[in-house]
Amino acid sequence: MRAVVVFESMYGNTHAVADEIATGLAGLGEVVVGSTDQIPPTAFDGDLLVVGGPTHVHGMSSKSSRHAAAEAAEADPELDLDENANAPGLRSWLKQLPDGKGTAAAAYDTRINQPTLITGAAAKGIAKRLRRHGYALAGDPMSFLVADSGGPLIEGELERARAWGEHLATRLAAGAPVVE
């Protein structure tokens, strides 16, 4: 089987989670991980598509929230932009995604360590768009927590990301039904 993990990342937290999910998925076979500019939506060819991004203003990032994040990094010497921060946002990437024809997919996000009611969760919007494009969810949308908007990830989140990747791989290998 072949899995593809696509991410959008501003400060590197979502990128780090993508790498750990990919490690967890390794039991499936070939795993490719890359940002939205490294993996064009029209080039997806696999058995599982995992898509993740940061939560901005209760949902997926927008052009203005991405711009604000870049400005925050310029103003704060303790914030570093991810090497892929200038890649296209997930909203535009997902708009170009062709029909998944029932291919398995999963959605994740990174968000501040507060209740979802306060922070929102980008993974819900990602999952909704994946379904709209004909993908079948292989698991519930997942959030990985950061201490503050720039990070770092809360202790144990990278291990949890790897375990979630392993869980998805196990479900797919066993032919488990997708989430409705």
Q: Please state which architecture CATH assigns to domain 2-173.
A: 3-Layer(aba) Sandwich (3.40)
- Whether residue 177 is predicted with pLDDT greater than 80 in this model: the reply is no
For residue range 11-63, what is the model confidence (pLDDT) as tens digits?
Answer: 999 999 999 999 999 999 999 999 999 999 998 899 999 999 999 999 999 99
Report which secondary-structure segment, H or E, holds 108: strand 104-112
Bridge partners of 145, per DSSP, are 111
Domain range annotation of the chain: 2-173
Please tell me the pTM assigned to this model.
0.96
- For β-strands 59-60 and 48-56, DSSP reports them as antiparallel
Give per-residue pLDDT as tens, 80-134: 999 999 999 999 999 999 999 999 999 999 999 999 999 999 999 999 999 999 9
